[in-house]
């Protein structure tokens, strides 16, 4: 564990270039489960990454570990489906926890902070393909986006909401007896619109509740994430 924490500290210290920081944050998805004994170090990575401005780190809890004696209280079948769709998009038949997906394209199995941060830097330094901004107008979000590349295939404009932190006492299963802290726990992931990118996007969406979130522009598949923006604070 000490070696892991040292590596995480080193990864957290990796600085992105000023140009990269000026672009939209890189989205990091962690597919995890309360019932997976290998997941707590990866969950800790998300807690540390959640404090950074250059990334949006998200925990998506899957339900395929529930059968071994502990049902994950945050799991949703839709997150399992999303992970399987990522696998199918590259011809893989199996899914694993913990698994990170960085920018919609880089897949990393296990808690490997240096690999995750290298993937973040690779995505941040890639040419911008779209820009997105989000403003709050009362109980409504106004979302604007522009396509910066020459892509002609429609992309998905998605709204993600997440719970900043929660602590769970695990009573059964592989992590029985542990009290684990989770961060940026995704509660919903919804499609707002499919956007061709031929013209600038300017849409509105309801803003309910106090949970933070993000707007994510992503290729179908799911594939590469072109841009992302945090929701403004209520």
Evaluate if residue 212 carries a pLDDT over 60: yes
208: Cα within 13 Å, side-chain hemisphere: 5
pLDDT score at 6: 40
pLDDT score at 23: 63
pLDDT score at 163: 98
Taking only the tens place, the pLDDT of each residue in 44-88 is 999 999 999 999 999 999 999 998 889 999 999 999 999 999 999
Evaluate if residue 22 carries a pLDDT over 50: no
- Reported confidence tier of residue 187, pLDDT bands at 50, 70, 90: very high
The model's pTM: 0.90
Sequence-distant (6+) residues with CB within 8 A of 112 are 100
Mean pLDDT of 6-11: 42
Report how far residue 223's alpha carbon sits from residue 219's, in angstroms, rounded to the nearest whole number. Answer: 5
Report how far residue 4's alpha carbon sits from residue 10's, in angstroms, rounded to the nearest whole number. Answer: 10
Mean pLDDT of 15-30: 65
pLDDT score at 3: 38
Ranges of each domain in the chain: 2-230
Q: Which residues pair with 219 in a beta bridge?
A: 155
Q: Is 184 left (phi over 0), alpha (psi -120 to 50) or beta?
A: left
Looking at the domain covering 2-230, what would its CATH class be?
Answer: alpha beta
Percent of the chain with pLDDT over 90: 80
Mean pLDDT of 108-127: 95
């Amino acid at each position: 564990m000490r070696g892991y924490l040292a590596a995480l500290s080193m990864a957290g210290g990796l600085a992105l270039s000023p140009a990269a920081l000026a672009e939209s944050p890189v989205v990091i998805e962690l597919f995890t489960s309360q019932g997976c004994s290998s997941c707590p170090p990866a969950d800790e990575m998300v807690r540390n990454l959640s404090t950074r401005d250059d990334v949006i780190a998200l925990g998506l809890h899957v339900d395929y570990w529930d059968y071994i004696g502990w049902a994950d209280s945050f799991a949703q079948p839709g997150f399992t489906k999303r992970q399987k769709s990522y696998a199918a998009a590259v011809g893989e038949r199996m899914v694993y926890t913990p698994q990170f997906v960085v920018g919609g394209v880089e897949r990393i199995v296990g808690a490997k902070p240096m690999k995750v941060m290298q993937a973040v830097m690779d995505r941040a330094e890639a040419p911008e393909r779209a820009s997105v901004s989000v403003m709050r107008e009362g109980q409504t979000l106004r979302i604007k986006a522009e396509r910066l590349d020459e892509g002609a295939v429609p992309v998905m404009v998605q709204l993600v909401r997440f719970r900043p932190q929660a602590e769970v006492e695990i009573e059964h299963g592989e992590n029985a007896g542990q009290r684990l802290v989770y961060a940026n726990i995704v509660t919903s992931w919804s499609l707002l619109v499919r956007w061709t990118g031929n013209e600038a996007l300017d849409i509105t969406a309801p803003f309910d509740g106090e949970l933070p979130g993000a707007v994510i522009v992503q290729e179908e598949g799911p594939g590469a994430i072109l841009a992302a923006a945090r929701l403004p604070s209520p």
